[in-house]
Chain A
């Protein structure tokens, strides 16, 4: 039965979207993962490298502290940058000219320049001038402002995708401006905002590694230190690899779940 076996591995265009048997899903998931594992295994088996996990294990406390710091720094930045994005998007759409210009300038400058430069200038110039000595506050602000610029554009795009006729209908039934946003625009815009927002938040988690340059002891900083102390670069990179995935995959799954919840037919 060659046809039947073929159907374990592919689906005809006209059958797309139909439910797939659990066995077929399981088989193919295993196949894909096996492929990835094989490539990794082969690559590492070719490597002539004296693994030294003992060094890493000695400093596991440092890793854990770094990972936990990254977890909460990224969490706070996640909330802050979404808030900033929302406020900037609304400022751009407001009737106040200076707010419109400010939000444009902000987005262009932040998106157009490297985060590394922003963090360094933010810490050594701006924070210094304003006598802010707490590195974490500076780092958090820089990170949130950086992500907020992208997120504001994502949110603005979502808001503008809601048709003018929807806003007309909302005005006609007597909703106020803020009610229109709350009950009509956002529930419809969120569908389009969520997928790119999820991607940006995952980026944010990884970008938090740049705070190492101002010596905040987050995950990447601790890995760099351990690598320096024990000469075990690869071990430390593997720790980073696994540690960041441990943060980003749950976030990805959560936003996918949110996407399903906010979905409606159009």
Chain B
């Protein structure tokens, strides 16, 4: 992917969550956004996802400028796959129906086609036996994998993960992270917000640390996580690595 963020700012009321954020990445497959809570990483991801409008600044993804008007945002959202912390799936639909809903209603596939696509992706993710189940009958990890399957099924140009394992029990985390690693090996582009430093180190080509609405440091994991330049990064890493 190619990502160019220029002077991006966003406030909620009096609270400034992003201030003059700049990012320039080229030929990068995976970007991890890390940093303390309230630092602005989720807001940045949501702006990239087309779910939030910035107050100022521009954003280009793969050389296409994102126009922050409802109509073009809708088209933008349809071209990417977003996975949230939790409650991604619709409880009144089965796993398969959760995947076919966007395929049919947004991307215009015929029901039989959509079903076939959903089943094949569930099979690839080793979820075949769970296709007929509603979310309530799935474990937290399975739910997140179905959510990822739904995001991948539409063949998005980029995947966005907003703390995909934060709401999971520890033993469920691995299956979700394994799946993201696999997607990484397939060469899919994604942006990931995470608190899992070890995982970020492993899958991200680039890491950006946001704090107080600014990018504190941005670079490859060896640099940002192992040899941080700024004092703020060092103290943040010390805190999250302590236990």
Contact = CB atoms under 8 A, between A and B. Distances in A.
A173 B86 contact: no
Contact of A265 (B82, B102, B137, B154): B137
Which of A165, A168, A171, A172 has the most CB atoms of chain B within a 10 A radius of its CB?
A: A172
A168 to B, nearest CB: 7
A264 B49 CA distance: 30
Given A168-B84, A174-B78, A187 B92 contact: yes
Interface residues of B, number: 23
A184 interface: yes
Chain A interface, >50% SS class? helix
Interface string B205-221: 00000000000000000
A188 B91 contact: yes
B77 A172 contact: yes
A46 interface: no
B99 to A, nearest CB: 10
A11 to B, nearest CB: 26
A158 to B, nearest CB: 13
B134 A176 contact: no
A83 interface: no
B88 interface: yes
A258 B135 CA distance: 22
A184 B89 CA distance: 10
User: Which of A163, A165, A179, A264 gathers most chain B CB within 10 Å?
Assistant: A264
Given A169-B84, A187-B92, A175 B51 contact: no
Interface residues of A, number: 20
A264 B91 contact: yes
A183 interface: yes
B209 to A, nearest CB: 25
Given A173-B150, A174-B78, A264-B91, 19 more contacts: A163-B87, A165-B84, A166-B87, A169-B90, A170-B90, A171-B77, A172-B82, A173-B77, A173-B82, A173-B106, A173-B154, A174-B106, A175-B102, A179-B106, A187-B92, A188-B92, A265-B91, A265-B134, A266-B136
11 contacts: A163-B87, A166-B87, A170-B90, A173-B77, A173-B82, A173-B150, A175-B102, A183-B101, A187-B92, A188-B90, A265-B136
Interface of A: 163, 165-166, 168-176, 179, 183-184, 187-188, 264-266
